[in-house]
Amino acid sequence: MLKTFSWSQMVFLTRNFLFKRVLFISLFLFQIIFPSLLHAQNGTVQNTENKYRAHHWGVEDGLSQGTVYDMIKDQNGFLWIGTQHGLNRFDGSSFKKYLADKTGKNKTIRGNTINGLIEDSLHNIWIGTDKGLSRYDIKADTFTHFASADPRQSSIPFWATKDEVFYWDYPESQLAAYNIHTFSKRQLAKIATADSVGFGVSDHYPVFDKGSNSIWLERGFGNPGGGLFQISLTTGEKKEYTWPCFKKIPNHGHGSEGMRYDRRRNSIWINNADGLLEFMLKDKQIHHVDALKDFEKLKDFWLWAGIDIDAQGRIWEGTSKGMIVYNPADQSVHLLFSNDSVLQKNVTEANVLIYCDRDGMVWSGTWSSKGIYQVIPFSQALTHYVSNPKQPHSLSTDFVFNCSDGGRGGIWMSTDNGINIFDEQTGLIQGILKKDLQCSNGEGKGIAIACIDTTSQKAWVNAQDLFKMDLATRQCIPVIFKDINGKRIPLLTGGFPTPYQKTCILTTNYGGLQEIFIVNPDSTVAEQILSFPDGTLDFFKTATDDHFIFLRQPDSTVNLTYSLIGRKWIRIPNPLDSIPWTKIIFNKADQTYWLATEKTLNHYNKNFSLIQVYSQQDGLPELAICGMIPDKNNNLWFNTESSIHQLDIISGRVTMLSEKDGFQKQNFTSMLNFGKSASGDLYLPGGVFGTGFNRINPSWYVKTTSAVYLQSLLVNEKPVLLPTGINNLKELPLSYSENMITIETGILDFYSGGNNHIRYKLGEKADWQYPLNSARYTIHYEDLAPGNYTLVMQASNASNEFIGPEKILLIRISPPWWQTGWARLLFGLAFVFVLWNFIQYRSRSLKQRNAELEEKVMHRTMELKHSLEDLRATQTQLIQREKMASLGELTAGIAHEIQNPLNFVNNFSDINSELIDEMKQEIKSGNLEEGLHVADIVKENNLKINNHGKRADSIVKGMLLHSRQNAGQFELTNVNVLADEYLRLSYHGLRAKDKSFNATILTDFDPTIEKISIVPQDIGRVLLNLFNNAFYAVAEKKKIISESLPAAASGEMGYEPTISASTKKMDDLVEIRIKDNGMGIPNKLLDKIFQPFFTTKPTGEGTGLGLSLSYEIITKGHGGTIEVDTKEKEFTEFIIRIPQINHSTKQPNADLT
């Protein structure tokens, strides 16, 4: 079989390489090599040593005590662990402790020393304690206690029949039975001291033989010769069975420690000082298992008490050398964990019990307070190999960039310092340095395996030049490149190889073109077959099968597929050409194509018909697929930049390898690829970003499931009385007021060690909810409306995939009584009755009321006349209040405006006095010229004093004018001056209130406007009102922006509060526009802004009269118009148009001014 590898020019990768790799890259100039896919041949025998792993659980993990006498897995999946102090319920990661409680409540055990656990046919658990027998009801989650004549003594259950539980009744010196339905007790057999049974841990092990209706017990240590003791339940007859001393040691005790009944073989397996014995019930013959004889020869070898039979009929026993598995079917013996001497010893040290649960897991309990060992019956699918300089035969370097099968159980690794050959059987590595090969004399240490033909044991290797190498002799012959005309081309180095039938296709750059060559396995010449302009192809993605070469055009949806027709390579249009794929592989075994795109994984049959598209819904990772390879069962394995996944071809689910599978977090480059050995193991090199390589045994990959269970339930934050055990709860009926529910869940999962999560949803069709990590097991609902709810819960498994069973709880919240059907009917009837009465009453009283009304109308008319007069007076007051309010806002502004000129007046008059003194001095000294100069300055200053005085004067006048209560007179006024003055007043007014406030003020006054006839204080008031509003709007907007953004960002937002005022002369009217870029006015409020008392300012800040008065002044007072143009959150513009009419000096005709 031919195997090839892809090469690429380093330049594509250099950018991504870590610095430490750069040195290597510069030396290893030309190629990096990628393994291609290979198909498995015959499987090899797996090394059984790796098929198990073990995990220790102790007091530090929450176990109540470390000396474990018995364990049993219940129907729900919990493991019950009986210790010397307390009973434990274990869910795979956490322990729930049950300790004796003297109050006698039924929520826990009565005695703390747990001697035995037995599950009856109803799946309830019988618990033997030092205070008698108890029974745990698995559905109700309660304990029932059975009185013992002497509660200080133990009772130990050891057997369950369909209707009874058999147990040691020590106080009565008998074997007894409880009926599990009626709880009636009966004696099975009386035990005498002379019987020498009932010693220590062997109490767990009596066996009931249904065939002979007898019980088999172990003889104690004290009995010479040991043996079995049979008590017939029919006759009460007792009989001893002994066996010879197999070890032939004088005075040897021969007492047995543990035994188990084998249903398939109808025999009893006995763990004994003489070794492992099998007692056949049919012929009462005893057999010694000789298969263990190699162990028996060892010094300090003995058997501990633990013995059990697994589902496959294998016998597990705890020995001083470790855990031994004996398979009676083939007489094979395995010692577990032979690679790990510490674990090997610990797992059965002071072993008191071995328990094979129904899930294939094996549990070992210890005498020495060390807790339990969990033996998990499969090993991790992935093994990560890294270099270890201390260990001979390990990787020579951590930089491995391809792994390829060299046949004969050897995987050839290309690394940055030569080739490493990995022996699949032994796990040992043999390194070949470049200098040991006869390939090239080029520089650099790197050798890249390009192709291996396992049949002929030939490989192509690239060590600067391309060579053909004999795998056995390591002889190298250079490969020659020839162009399309058969002319020899000087050395070609860069290239990307892919297999094609028996040949190797090489894509490379030469002469400014992208060229494709083919190398035959029986030749040392690479012949050119195709040629493309530079940049046409993405060489890294070139893919092949036995018929086609798939060439990917970068950034294009037109890809090129070629096939050999006769002797020519012809482009054959292919359905895949239009798909922007990133990777294609062909699985020869099932004749299908796998095609990866950025987001999907597509599966095609050999005719390129689509079989299935897999997406993230099927578990596909978000990251793009890098390498792909099918395993022996046609499941697809692939990696991304940081993970390895398996697509199960049968379930269609994609799962991800996690720590439980041996996966360690690592990064892969996108161009790495898998290799596959003949045995079916997959190899993924770590590449530049990873270390070493990963070996995956696909058959060891186990997808475990987990299940949600319920721990506690709170309704309205209080525990509720449930008719059954919380975990058995299927339906939760609640009343309308009990609508706050808190459910504490747990996860049953013996594989993940607690690294999993739950998800839940209320209603089958709802979206899943994932609790926060801080409350990862808690489900909480509040204010649930009356109705029926289906709470669905699910737990993720060790790979964090939700593939386990869904747990369902129906929550029924009944409506309050007044919302029920009959209550509604009652309400309806009551309403009809009341209505009928009301109508009766109304018709009687209406006539009477009519007369009363007539009288009232008369009275009200009189009152209204008075009210109208009052209202007029009030209106006048309100208008004055508005005037004063706007004035109030101005006071600070005015003060500032006056303060500044006054300062100048004071300063310049001070200076003038000084200057006059100076002037006098000069005159006295005869410096007349200097005196005159000073006099000029004095005069100038005086002018300034005058100007500033006038400035202050005009401000005060304006203020008085504004506040005057009676109506003003029409005067010829300069609108530009008026607008400017009020703009300043308004601005300073606001500035006085908000010191940080700033605004850009733009004015555009039309100088051609002549004085027009207006009432200046009225128009001034309008302008002031509009300016105040404008400033308020921009200030608000600035505040909102700065509150919603951090200071720095709000600055960057570049909101520049801007107010503009402009005037314009138009034919026979003057237009004044006042615009701000503030909050704008919402459309729905536009109709209201001119209404009296409408304001958007907070209560107390505005009178709501400003705009309505302005409207009156402009329209009624001056016969003009006032319009508003606005866009919410952007701007507001008021447009005032006043006609140029000479009113001479008359009063305006507005009623309201």
User: Residues in the site for other proteins, rule: CB under 8 A?
Assistant: 896, 899-900, 902-904, 906-908, 911, 915, 937, 940-941, 944, 948, 987-988, 991-992, 995-996, 998-1001
How far apart CA 618 and CA 531 sit, in angstroms, is 40
Least Å from the CB of residue 1027 to other proteins: 14
Least Å from the CB of residue 998 to other proteins: 5
CB–CB of 112/157 below 8 Å? no
How far apart CA 592 and CA 751 sit, in angstroms, is 34
β-sheet with 718-719: strand ranges across:
718-719, 707-715, 741-748, 778-781
Task: Tell me the β-bridge partners of 1137.
Answer: 1071, 1121
Least Å from the CB of residue 924 to other proteins: 19
CB–CB of 269/258 below 8 Å? no
The HSE-up count of residue 124 (CA atoms within 13 Å, CB side) is 25
Nearer to other proteins by Cβ, of 133 and 1001: the residue is 1001
How far apart CA 440 and CA 787 sit, in angstroms, is 81
Nearer to other proteins by Cβ, of 729 and 915: the residue is 915
What SS3 class is residue 301?
coil
Least Å from the CB of residue 904 to other proteins: 6
Least Å from the CB of residue 952 to other proteins: 13
How far apart CA 389 and CA 397 sit, in angstroms, is 9
Least Å from the CB of residue 1005 to other proteins: 16
Nearer to other proteins by Cβ, of 656 and 1045: the residue is 1045
How far apart CA 707 and CA 756 sit, in angstroms, is 11
Nearer to other proteins by Cβ, of 800 and 906: the residue is 906
Query: Concatenated DSSP letters for 822-846?
Result: HHHHHHHHHHHHHHHHHHHHHHHHH
Contacts of 1098 (CB under 8 A, 6+ apart): none
Nearer to other proteins by Cβ, of 505 and 1001: the residue is 1001
What SS3 class is residue 278?
strand
Nearer to other proteins by Cβ, of 944 and 962: the residue is 944
Nearer to other proteins by Cβ, of 884 and 902: the residue is 902
Query: Concatenated DSSP letters for 897-942?
Result: HHHHHHHHHHHHHHHHHHHHHHHHHHHHTT-HHHHHHHHHHHHHHH
Least Å from the CB of residue 910 to other proteins: 8
Nearer to other proteins by Cβ, of 999 and 1081: the residue is 999
Least Å from the CB of residue 947 to other proteins: 8
Nearer to other proteins by Cβ, of 999 and 1061: the residue is 999
How far apart CA 261 and CA 158 sit, in angstroms, is 12
Contacts of 174 (CB under 8 A, 6+ apart): 187, 188, 189, 190, 191
CB–CB of 814/786 below 8 Å? yes
Q: In which residue are the tokens 């045995």 written?
A: 679
Nearer to other proteins by Cβ, of 251 and 996: the residue is 996
Least Å from the CB of residue 999 to other proteins: 8
DSSP 1000: E
Least Å from the CB of residue 620 to other proteins: 52
Nearer to other proteins by Cβ, of 184 and 996: the residue is 996
Least Å from the CB of residue 1044 to other proteins: 21
How far apart CA 575 and CA 427 sit, in angstroms, is 44
Least Å from the CB of residue 922 to other proteins: 14
The HSE-up count of residue 652 (CA atoms within 13 Å, CB side) is 10
Tokens read off for 927 = 């410096």
Least Å from the CB of residue 983 to other proteins: 11
Least Å from the CB of residue 715 to other proteins: 55
CB–CB of 678/361 below 8 Å? no
Least Å from the CB of residue 1042 to other proteins: 13
Nearer to other proteins by Cβ, of 385 and 908: the residue is 908
Q: In which residue are the tokens 């870029």 written?
A: 1077
How far apart CA 241 and CA 222 sit, in angstroms, is 15
How far apart CA 35 and CA 521 sit, in angstroms, is 17
Nearer to other proteins by Cβ, of 712 and 921: the residue is 921
Nearer to other proteins by Cβ, of 120 and 981: the residue is 981
Least Å from the CB of residue 892 to other proteins: 8
Beta-strand pair 1058-1066/1000-1004? parallel
Least Å from the CB of residue 1062 to other proteins: 17
Nearer to other proteins by Cβ, of 199 and 1005: the residue is 1005
Nearer to other proteins by Cβ, of 101 and 1056: the residue is 1056
Nearer to other proteins by Cβ, of 911 and 1069: the residue is 911
How far apart CA 145 and CA 129 sit, in angstroms, is 10
Chain centroid offset of residue 1147 CA: 78
Q: Which amino acid does the sequence have at 798?
A: A
CA distances for 996 relative to 991, 1032, 1049, angstroms: 7, 14, 17
Contacts of 984 (CB under 8 A, 6+ apart): 893, 897
CB–CB of 228/241 below 8 Å? yes
Least Å from the CB of residue 903 to other proteins: 4
How far apart CA 1037 and CA 80 sit, in angstroms, is 68
What SS3 class is residue 1010?
coil
What SS3 class is residue 31?
strand
Query: Concatenated DSSP letters for 955-1017?
Result: HHHHHHHHH-SS----EEE-HHHHHHHHHHHHHHHHHHH-TT---EEEEE--TTPPPEEE-HH
CB–CB of 8/556 below 8 Å? no
Nearer to other proteins by Cβ, of 693 and 904: the residue is 904
CB–CB of 513/536 below 8 Å? no
Helix axes 928-963, 821-924, angle to 10 degrees: 150
